[in-house]
Amino acid sequence: MRTQVAIIGGGPAGLLLSHLLHLQGIDSVVLESRDRGYVERRQRAGMLEQGTTDVLRESGAGERLDREGLVHHGLELRFGGAGHRIPLTDLTGRTVTVYAQTEIVKDLVARRLADGGDVRFETEAVGVDASAPSVAFRDRAGRTGTLECDYIAACDGFHGVGRPAVPGLRTFSREYPFAWLGILADVPPSTEELIYAGHERGFALHSLRSPQVSRLYLQVPPDEDIAAWPDARIWEELAARFATGDGWKLQEGPITDKSITPMRSFVAEPMRHDRLFLAGDAAHIVPPTGAKGLNLAVSDVIVLARALTERYATGSDTLLDAYSSTCLRRVWRAEHFSYWMTTLLHVDPAADDFALRLQRSHLDYVVSSEAAKTTLAENYTGLPIG
């Protein structure tokens, strides 16, 4: 087997890269270890930056996004029993959109298959050669083979085979002393815009998946047992952390899913070795507070698609050679923003009274300063790609 670009991973990054390359006449094969149903049901974040929605629309993959996506023009920071709106669009001219990652994957799978794309589910990449570029794989029947190519894009997540194939890799990481307990509930959202709540008992986030489904999160210890959180306790704790002095009420409903997610930051440098390129979670992880994970993966593959297009069109390696440094500038900015949002709103169990007073002072400054609100809004809606 041979193709121009071998793509490991059939999540949104790998599928979008394959789609963007197809639009430029560049062949690719996507190898995905899981079956199609699993990939299309895998729950992940769904807050899209302006740049992410723009590329989906411009590439012809945004029809259902435009029909079903929920556009947000602001968000609320809530603390001290009061809410403070950050008017994202007024400050930046940009928006964010709620559209579940599962739906993006469904849209991209449908587009690739309709366009005759080669997406191989239940086909696991088991080895990578970055110099004589090829990917060794094993299919659902246990048969092995080799996919030869010009370039390899490892969009295969934190535990994939791509990153270990990069020699001399330098990694940076931080573990946070808390985690998120997340729920999906069959209840209309209690708010039209996201609420990021800082409370003495811990952080809480009110998000949504659709006009009928709410997505909510609670800060919990990293070793928390989910069995310790029956539905009634979850709703009681959420109500306490979102409580305001104006009588705002949290709507409750049946909880359909519960999970606990650890919080960490991770970056691997460089994001390229020879003809192997890392993208998305293969190269970086961010805490979910800033809603950057999916958007960073999308920006990586946009940069890579542009570079590969230039290479095949002109023979120039200029953009390919700059891939890692170009992506890492945006990665580190997003890492800092996610860290900043996380430490601004969560309660560190080791914090003393002095640290807690500094945190409250910082929150007061953010919601009272036009410059600080603009900084938050610029980073939240997404900085330029590339």
- Catalytic: 72? yes
Residue 120 makes CB contacts below 8 A (sequence gap 6+) with 29, 30, 31, 32, 137, 139
- Catalytic: 346? no
How are beta strands 28-31 and 5-8 bridged, if at all? parallel
pLDDT at residue 45 greater than cutoff 80: no
Tell me how far apart the alpha carbons of residues 379 and 275 are, in angstroms, rounded to a whole number: 31
What sign does the dihedral 294-297-303-306 (CA atoms) show?
negative
Task: Give me the residue label for tokens 């790609």.
Answer: 385
- Catalytic: 167? no
Q: Where are the domains of the chain?
A: 5-70+99-172+265-341, 174-263+347-381
CATH 3.50.50.60 fits 5-70+99-172+265-341, yes or no: yes
Residue 41: pLDDT band by 50, 70, 90 thresholds?
Answer: confident
pLDDT at residue 125 greater than cutoff 80: yes
Mean of pLDDT values over 81-109: 96
Angle made by CA atoms 11, 14, 16, in degrees to the nearest 5: 100
- Catalytic: 288? yes
Q: Smallest Cα–Cα separation from 298: which of 116, 58, 121, 68?
A: 58
What angle in degrees, to the nearest 10, is found between the helix axes of 50-58 and 293-314? 40
Residue 334: pLDDT band by 50, 70, 90 thresholds?
Answer: very high
- pLDDT, tens digit, for every residue of 67-78? 999 999 999 999
pLDDT at residue 386 greater than cutoff 80: no
Report the pLDDT value the prediction gives residue 157, as an integer from 0 to 100.
Answer: 94
Tell me how far apart the alpha carbons of residues 121 and 100 are, in angstroms, rounded to a whole number: 21
- Cβ atoms of 307 and 19 within 8 Å: the answer is no
Residue 136: pLDDT band by 50, 70, 90 thresholds?
Answer: very high
Mean of pLDDT values over 367-382: 98
Residue 193: pLDDT band by 50, 70, 90 thresholds?
Answer: very high
CATH superfamily of 174-263+347-381: D-Amino Acid Oxidase, subunit A, domain 2 (3.30.9.10)
Of 288, 323, 346, 373, the active-site residue reads 288
Residue 184 tokens read as 């999906």
pLDDT at residue 44 greater than cutoff 90: no
- The model carries a pTM of 0.95
- Cβ atoms of 385 and 303 within 8 Å: the answer is yes
Q: Smallest Cα–Cα separation from 280: which of 159, 167, 136?
A: 159
For the chain, give the mean pLDDT: 96
Residue 342: count of CB within 10 angstroms of its CB: 22
Residue 365: pLDDT band by 50, 70, 90 thresholds?
Answer: very high
Residue 46 makes CB contacts below 8 A (sequence gap 6+) with 98, 99, 100, 101, 102, 103, 104, 209, 294
- pLDDT, tens digit, for every residue of 3-12? 999 999 999 9
- Catalytic: 176? no
Of 19, 72, 199, 373, the active-site residue reads 72
Of 206, 292, 346, 373, the active-site residue reads 292
